[in-house]
Amino acid sequence: MSNRMVLSYTNSFALFRPKFNGHSIPSIYHTDVLSLTRHVSSATALSFCQLQASKLHDSPVTVASDVRYGSKQIISVDSPLYDYILTNVREPKILRELREETATMRGSQMQVSPDQAQLLAMLVQILGAERCIEVGTYTGYSSLAVALVLPEGGHLVACERDGKVIEVAKRYYDRAGVSHKVDVRHGLAADTLKSLIQNGESCRYDFAFVDAEKKMYQEYFELLLQLVRIGGLIVVDNVLWHGRVSDPLVNDSKTLSIRNFNENLMKDNRVDISMVPIGDGMTICRKR
């Protein structure tokens, strides 16, 4: 997007955030690139106006907000595009039926999306995983996706504290013929993980998925690092937390927990990491 295009797109708009890339911007400001340079550098002004232009025109492409990244164009996943993505997800019939039943239940937003479940299953297959852990099972959609691709002798420990949703998950494990692969643990996940360690199962697991109490993420991660082998994966869900992690004005306890967890992962030399903007964001961690 050229400066001329940005100027034509951003003659007038309102801002509600006091900062952009660390720079203070007037809260209500009618501006273009040239006038904004009175307050911030030309690079910041241009990248800011590019971002606002893409928002104002509902473009499917967002321009990264910092020119240091080369004004990288990033696809914004709107409803039509996400519908297209879902048409390219190979969702087994049993998973679709579980997803549709879960959609009628309270808390259905906690279920991972079909594209997330497909990615989890693919990671398990690539890894050749045989022993897995899930922290936060809910009605079993993600654990069922994993169990379906585990070898016949595979083993998945599914941790869930809500007995009612466990019954739904067990029903679908039975229907899918994978109940013998899934060890459902009803109770607090941290207690279950500690018991596995105490039973001598450290470094015996290949793969773990975390989608549970956000304030407990760091504790879950520390326990799973003991249980997962070197080269194994720990995948953590909701790391983007509906975009709140990037908003400095949002500081509720769950957002702070996830933000702090993400910051800790960046500095953690015990793992290699890749944050993936799928669903509500997932970080894939490989234990070194």
State the pLDDT at residue 175. 98
**Choice between 52 and 248, residue whose per-residue pLDDT is larger:** 248
Query: Does pLDDT of 11 surpass 50?
Result: no
State the pLDDT at residue 69. 72
Please state the rounded mean pLDDT for residues 183-201. 98
State the pLDDT at residue 76. 84
CA 13 to chain CA mean position, Å: 31
Beta strands in 143-243 (DSSP E): 155-160, 182-186, 205-210, 228-237
State the pLDDT at residue 40. 60
**Choice between 14 and 266, residue whose per-residue pLDDT is larger:** 266
When pLDDT is cut at 50, 70 and 90, the band that residue 14 belongs to is very low
Q: Is 274 in a helix, a strand, or coil?
A: strand
Query: Does pLDDT of 196 surpass 60?
Result: yes
State the pLDDT at residue 52. 52
Contacts of 75 (CB under 8 A, 6+ apart): 60, 61, 62, 81
State the pLDDT at residue 279. 95
Query: Does pLDDT of 159 surpass 70?
Result: yes
Q: Compute the distance between CA of residue 233 and CA of residue 273 in angstroms, rounded to an integer.
A: 10
Q: Are 144 and 94 in contact (CB under 8 A)?
A: yes
Angle at 158 between CA 156 and CA 162, to 5 degrees: 165
When pLDDT is cut at 50, 70 and 90, the band that residue 155 belongs to is very high
State the pLDDT at residue 226. 98
Please state the rounded mean pLDDT for residues 276-284. 97
**Choice between 22 and 87, residue whose per-residue pLDDT is larger:** 87
State the pLDDT at residue 42. 59
Return the minimum-mean-pLDDT range out of 61-65, 107-111, 267-271.
61-65
When pLDDT is cut at 50, 70 and 90, the band that residue 37 belongs to is low
pTM: 0.79
Q: Compute the distance between CA of residue 97 and CA of residue 95 in angstroms, rounded to an integer.
A: 5
